A and B are shown apart, each in its own frame.
Chain A
C-alpha cells in the first residue's frame, strides 16, 4: 500500500478533463495521486466506495473540480489523529433532504458535510463509517451523496475532525487563507497568494479576486 496520496474518482468526459487542473495543483506539494475512472453511468453515490478505491494508507480524496492551493499537511495530521477530516457543507443542515423523494429521511438536526474534500486513513473505525455509507448510499435520494454520508456519521457515532471551510471553499464567504478551491470551471482568484499572506479578514470573491468585506453588525462580537 502506498503511504500518502490524493484519490480522484472520475466518470464522464467533463470530470476526466477537469481533473488535470486538480492534478497539476498537487505538484508544489509533491503528492502522489491515483485516478480511478469509473463507468460513465456512475453518479455521486459512487463516492461511497472511496475507502476501497484508495491505494493509500493516508488519503486525501478530492473532487475533480478542486484546486489545491496550500500545503495540506494539517489535514493529513488531523485524519491520522481522528480518522477522518473534512469541512461542513455551506448548506449545512442535512434535513434539507426532506424535500426530496427518497426511501428514507435523514435524522433531524444532523450536520451536512461536504464530501468533495475528505482526508481519511485506513483504520477499522473509518472502514466502519465508509462501509455504512456504502450500505445506505441509495436510501437518502440520488441527488446528493452527502445526505447518506451525514446519516452514516450519525449511525456509526463517528466524529470526523472538522476543518475550516477554507479547506473546501465553495465560493461563499471566507475568513483567512484559502486552502482548497472547489469551484467548477472557474480558476482560483488571481490574488489568492496575496490574500493568504495578508492579515486575516473576512472576504468574498468577485470578478476573479478576493476582497475584504465589512463584518456584519459592525462586528458586534466575533
Chain B
C-alpha cells in the first residue's frame, strides 16, 4: 500500500520517537517485541522537541497499522486486540492515571489556552492507530495546537483536539498501558515503567483473571478492596 507521499508502507509495526538519551530505554523495549513478533521503526528527534514530536507520530510512522510506544514501555503479551480496535475505530489507547485534563489549569498556568473543564486525559505512551482520513485530520489538528496548551505535557492539547473534533478513540483498559502501579486487575499487556516488570508476569498473564499485588519483583493474588488498596496506597 502506498502512503500519501507515494512511499510504500509496511503493514504493521511499532513506532518509537526517541531522543538520544532515551535510546537505551528503547533497546529494552525493542527486545520485548520478539514476544509479539512485531516489526519496528525508531525515529530520533532533538531532546527539545521530544514532547511535541508525538503529535507527528502519524507522519513519522512507516506502517499502515501502528502502535506508538514510549521508549520505556515493554510488550508482555500479544497486541492483536489493540490493532483490531484501531482498525475498527481509527485509534485505540488508555485513559491516563491522571485522568482529568484540567489538571493543566494549575500544572501549567502560563499555557496560552486552558482545556475544557471535563475532558478525559488520555495516556499517549501507547497509541494504536491506522491511517484513516479521520485520524489524519485528528493528528493534523493536534500538531497545529500542540504547544498551545502548555509545553510540559502533550496530553492536554491531544485531549482538547479530541473534544474539538468530536472524535471518539477506542479506550483500552489500563492493562494495555500499565504504569507500574502496586495493584493489577489481571493480565498486563504493556508494562510502562523504567522499573523491571514482575519476574512471574508470564505465569500471571496466563492464569485466571483476578486482583494481584506487585511487590518485591513479583505479582501475587490478593483479596479485593479495601484491605489490598489500603496496604498498597498508604496515606500521603
Interface range for B = 35 or more
Interface range for A = 35 or more
Most buried by B among A82, A91, A157: A91
In the complex the two chains form, is A176's CB within 8 Å of B100's CB?
A: yes
In the complex the two chains form, is A216's CB within 8 Å of B182's CB?
A: yes
Q: Would A172 and B173 be within 8 Å (CB), given that A216-B232, A220-B195 are in contact?
A: no
Consensus secondary structure, chain A interface: mixed
Closest to B182 in A: A216
Residues of A contacting B81 in the complex (Cβ-Cβ under 8 angstroms): 108-110
In the complex the two chains form, is B209's CB within 8 Å of A220's CB?
A: no
Of B118, B174, B236, the contact of A74 (CB 8 Å cutoff): B118
Cβ of B137 within 8 Å of any chain A Cβ, yes or no, is no
Of A96, A162, A213, the contact of B171 (CB 8 Å cutoff): A162
Q: Would A199 and B118 be within 8 Å (CB), given that A175-B100, A176-B99 are in contact?
A: no
A sample of 18 inter-chain contacts (CB < 8 A) reads A91-B185, A92-B186, A93-B209, A96-B186, A96-B208, A96-B209, A99-B208, A108-B81, A157-B88, A164-B120, A173-B233, A175-B97, A175-B100, A206-B226, A212-B235, A214-B233, A217-B195, A220-B195
New contact pairs (16) apart from A88-B173, A92-B186, A159-B89, CB-CB < 8 Å: A82-B168, A88-B95, A93-B175, A95-B209, A98-B209, A108-B81, A109-B80, A109-B81, A110-B81, A111-B173, A157-B88, A164-B95, A175-B100, A217-B181, A220-B180, A221-B193
Chain A residues close to B by CB (< 8 Å): 74, 81-82, 88, 90-93, 95-96, 98-99, 108-112, 157, 159, 161-166, 171-173, 175-177, 199-202, 204, 206, 211-214, 216-217, 220-222
